[in-house]
């Protein structure tokens, strides 16, 4: 049977713990490693911790019964320093966590094992590495593939305009964390005036867990030839890229500009930002043959 196993660690040498666990399962009689994903770094889900997780998924061919496979994974966990499993959704830091996601053709609903894993469709840290090795895999008894489950998570986003009355410490900190990923000289403090003028509009995008994972700003300028709109500060958190968030933010910004009756939308992007430039071009933005000048006026 084909079995898909998830591995996670947020303590100590996280990559070594996962590597050791994957190989330990491969060394068990009746288990053969077929493929494995890269490591994905994610925030803890379901509890507060300063320790981020590394996550991976591996595929095995196994002749073990599901209960035997569960016992083997728990033995490996104990050998790597995990002394207790999560109970009643109470989670904690751990050196290693091993979950059986799915065994081809097998369902289980017992006090110790549920197959497929009941929360597989809700967990990005499982679906992203799973899609890397088998995007078309459909868990036993389900009717949607791993890719479709991940797409559903990517679609469960919220875009909001940041106004002065919603500028909470959480939002401020999220913006200050995003801007250094875009600029080598980010502001240390956000100017309050930026959130009260209608000509400058700041938008954020939240993931399915409602974490702020991206932003952009719209700048409107009424001109004699019609209102122009500049898109600036487009940045997606490095741990949330390749999910389509930037495209969603841009589409939203374009709709806002149209409602404001802007005549054109302008943006600039450094040539080194290859993926960003490809995205803009794919959405209909065209490079202009013009010189761009700037004058630095000081602090």
Write out the catalytic residue numbers: 82, 94, 97, 99
DSSP count for the chain of H helices, then E strands: 7, 12
158-161: strand order across its sheet: 158-161, 200-206, 212-221, 228-236, 264-266
- SS3 assignment, position 49: coil
Whole-number Å distance between alpha carbons of 194 and 202: 8
Rg of the chain over Cα atoms, rounded to whole angstroms, equals 23
Whole-number Å distance between alpha carbons of 125 and 42: 7
CB 78 within 8 A of CB 69: no
CB 22 within 8 A of CB 36: yes
Helix ranges (H only) for 31-143 are 66-79, 124-133
């Amino acid at each position: 049977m084909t079995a898909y196993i998830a591995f996670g660690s947020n303590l100590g040498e996280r990559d070594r713990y996962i590597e050791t666990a994957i190989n330990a399962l491969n060394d068990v009689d009746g288990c053969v490693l077929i493929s494995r994903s890269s490591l994905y770094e994610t925030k803890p889900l379901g509890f507060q911790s300063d320790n981020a997780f590394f996550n991976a998924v591996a595929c095995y061919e196994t002749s073990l019964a599901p209960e035997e496979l569960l016992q083997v994974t728990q033995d490996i966990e104990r050998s790597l320093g995990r002394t207790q499993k999560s109970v009643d959704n109470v989670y904690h830091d751990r050196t290693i966590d091993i979950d059986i996601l799915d065994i081809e053709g097998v369902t289980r609903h017992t006090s110790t094992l549920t197959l497929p894993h009941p929360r597989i469709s809700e967990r990005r840290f499982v679906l992203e590495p799973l899609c890397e090795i088998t995007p078309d895999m459909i868990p036993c008894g389900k009717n949607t593939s791993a890719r479709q489950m991940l797409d559903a998570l990517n679609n469960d986003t919220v875009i909001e305009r940041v106004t002065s009355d919603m500028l909470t410490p959480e939002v401020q900190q999220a913006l200050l964390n995003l801007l250094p990923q875009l600029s080598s000289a980010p502001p240390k403090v956000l100017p309050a005036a930026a959130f009260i003028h209608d000509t400058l509009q700041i938008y954020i995008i939240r993931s399915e867990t409602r974490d702020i994972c991206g932003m952009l700003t719209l700048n409107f300028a009424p001109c004699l030839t019609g209102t122009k709109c500049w898109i600036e500060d487009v940045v997606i958190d490095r741990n949330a890229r390749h999910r389509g968030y930037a495209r969603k933010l841009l589409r939203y910004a374009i709709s806002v500009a149209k409602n404001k009756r802007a005549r054109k939308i302008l943006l600039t992007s450094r040539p080194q930002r290859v993926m960003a430039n490809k995205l803009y071009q794919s959405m209909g933005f065209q490079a202009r043959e013009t010189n761009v000048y700037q004058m630095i006026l000081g602090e």
